[in-house]
């Protein structure tokens, strides 16, 4: 009789321990129960891995962001017919670059004659002209030396003699993240 009591007690304890183990969750460690699949009167858990569970990996870095940089060239004429060159570089937009170049031209005496002749963003620019002239031809490139070379070549191809670079600048994008 004692043996039957012990067997019964043992089976009850075993049943409780199995039930308690199941109460913690039907999925293995590192997985989560996301659904139930039932059929034939029996339901089974559908488990899926927990993202980044128990790993030592750092989260991916944030995406790299760049801010555009722009510049502009404005040309004007003073009251004594001298050419004026107004410039801007490293501005946050083409509109801002245009405004700054016009203001620079006006401040140098160009006044109402100032006109934007070239804008550029995320590049370098060079203006080539013969000695004594403020007007010429521009070259743009992501490399300043190539922009200078291009401006001189364009000036020479236009039949202008003794061209040299009278202005150059770069307005390259800036990494912010």
Residue 169 structure tokens: 């600048």
Model pLDDT for residues 68-82, shown as the tens digit of each residue:
999 999 999 888 888
3-state DSSP assignment of residue 151: helix
Q: What is the pTM of this model?
A: 0.63
- Residue ranges of domains in the chain: 66-175
Are residues 72 and 118 in contact, defined by beta-carbon separation less than 8 angstroms? yes
Residue 79 structure tokens: 């009251």
Model pLDDT for residues 97-127, shown as the tens digit of each residue:
999 999 999 999 998 999 999 999 999 999 9
Residues 120-149, buried b or exposed e (16+ Cβ, 10 A)? bbbbbbbbbbeeeeeebbbbbbeebeebbb
């Amino acid at each position: 009789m004692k043996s039957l009591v012990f067997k019964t007690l043992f089976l009850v304890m075993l049943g409780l321990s199995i039930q308690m183990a199941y109460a913690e969750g039907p999925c293995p460690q590192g997985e989560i129960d996301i659904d139930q699949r039932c059929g034939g009167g029996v339901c089974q858990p559908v488990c899926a891995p927990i993202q980044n569970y128990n790993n030592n990996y750092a989260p991916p870095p944030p995406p790299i962001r760049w801010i555009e940089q722009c510049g502009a060239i404005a040309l004007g004429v003073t009251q004594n017919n001298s050419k004026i060159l107004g410039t801007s570089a490293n501005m946050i937009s083409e509109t801002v670059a245009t405004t700054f170049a016009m203001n620079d031209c006006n401040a140098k005496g160009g006044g109402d004659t100032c006109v934007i002749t070239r804008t550029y963003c995320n590049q370098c620019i060079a203006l080539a002209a013969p000695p004594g002239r403020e007007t010429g031809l521009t070259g743009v490139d992501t490399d300043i030396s190539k922009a200078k070379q291009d401006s001189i070549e364009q000036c020479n191809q236009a039949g202008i003699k003794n061209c040299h670079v009278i202005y150059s600048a770069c307005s390259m994008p800036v990494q912010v993240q």
